[in-house]
Amino acid sequence: MTRASEPGSPLVEARGLSVSFASPKRFLSRHKPLIVQAVKDVDLTVNAGETLALVGESGCGKSTLGRALIRTLPHSAGRILFKGEDISKLRGETLRRARAGFQMIFQDPYASLNPKMSVFDTLAEPLIVHGTDNRTAIRRKVEEMLDAVGLDRAFASRYPHEFSGGQRQRIAIARAVILKPDFIVADEPLSALDVSLQLQVLKLFDDLRQRFALTYLFVSHDLARVFGFADRVAVMYLGRIVEIGAASAIVAKPAHPYTQALLAAAPSPDPKLEATREVPRLTGEIPSPANPPSGCRFHTRCPSVMPLCRTLEPEMRSAGPGQEAACHLVGSPAN
């Protein structure tokens, strides 16, 4: 994993990536375990230096996809490339060494930090695991990382219960960044924070990206928040990517009916407009990933459904420069 990635070149690539889970088999049951396809045949590229937001409703598979990309969840099919090298089959010590290049920030800062470890030990642990054994160098790096995330160096001797939620998330971010990885998956990192703290943490993410040349996959259900932060947006529905493109292009002209519905449902910053506007609602529930619909997976809820949608799964098709959508209503198939 020594080859550097130029800004804008592919850093992480998924090719036909699928993730399946089998339900636990009941004792003495004759029935086979139920297979749930959380992610189905996803092609996705994250370019070096960018923030790609992965959005969709709860249960659509976006967190599963993020974890599969960094090999913290097993995948059932497909390939994962990191800096052009296939990491799909790495195991043991080889995978452990590779993980220095990609890290994860979890949703809940209360659960993701070990309550029995001080901040110093929490931040020192990844350095030690990946080969740094000089105590002076470790302390220097921990202090520099606390400075970078806006925390007092004196906090190094404290424990997680002594901090607020926003401070804990900054500690979790520092732990992920301290190895200076190339790629970070941030899994709903704002959802446990007050609105007043969310903007501060978003600014911190952006500052760290520029300072350490980071690349983010930013998993979120909050479209209104990510469109001003991300370079590109990928929209996911029931285990598949249904639209992807520049954030500015998608917010200006969403191509897929699902993306249109998500944007229409996003709250307006104008309270008067929010009180009077009519928001189109999607009908029906999200189908079960254990028994997805035939054809287009969105056809059971789509306001623009056609007979073709019920039988033929749409390919990704060009919806404009750098924008693609998996919808029969969109123009020609993408190259």
Task: Kindly report the number of other CB atoms within 10 A of residue 98's CB atom.
Answer: 17
pLDDT band at 35 (very low <50, low <70, confident <90, very high): confident
Instruction: Look at the alpha carbons of 305, 306, 311, 312 in this order and tell me if their dihedral is positive or negative.
Output: negative
Q: Tell me what the mean pLDDT of segment 146-165 comes to.
A: 96
pLDDT in tens, 101-147: 999 999 888 888 999 999 999 999 999 999 888 999 999 999 999 99
Of how many residues is the chain composed? Answer: 335
Name, of 226-230, 278-282, 316-320, the range with top average pLDDT.
Answer: 316-320
Q: Residue 242 pLDDT more than 50?
A: yes
Q: Residue 267 pLDDT more than 80?
A: no
Q: What is the pLDDT of residue 26?
A: 62
Q: Helices 165-177 and 119-129: crossing angle, nearest 10°? A: 20
Q: Residue 1 pLDDT more than 50?
A: no
Measured distance CA(279)–CA(150) in Å, rounded: 40
pLDDT in tens, 320-335: 999 999 999 997 555 5
Q: Tell me what the mean pLDDT of segment 88-102 comes to.
A: 91
pLDDT in tens, 134-146: 999 999 999 999 9
Look over the chain and give the mean of its residue pLDDT values, rounded to a whole number.
89
Instruction: Look at the alpha carbons of 95, 103, 14, 292 in this order and tell me if their dihedral is positive or negative.
Output: positive
The SS3 call for residue 69 is helix
pLDDT band at 196 (very low <50, low <70, confident <90, very high): confident
pLDDT band at 271 (very low <50, low <70, confident <90, very high): low
**And the tokens for 180?**
């200076």
Structural domains in the chain, CATH included, are: 10-22+33-262 (3.40.50.300)
pLDDT in tens, 289-300: 888 999 999 999
Q: Tell me what the mean pLDDT of segment 70-85 comes to.
A: 95
Q: Tell me what the mean pLDDT of segment 9-38 comes to.
A: 83
pLDDT band at 278 (very low <50, low <70, confident <90, very high): low
Q: Are 257 and 327 in contact (CB under 8 A)?
A: yes
Task: Kindly report the number of other CB atoms within 10 A of residue 273's CB atom.
Answer: 10
pTM value is: 0.90
Q: What is the pLDDT of residue 108?
A: 86
pLDDT band at 162 (very low <50, low <70, confident <90, very high): very high
The SS3 call for residue 60 is coil
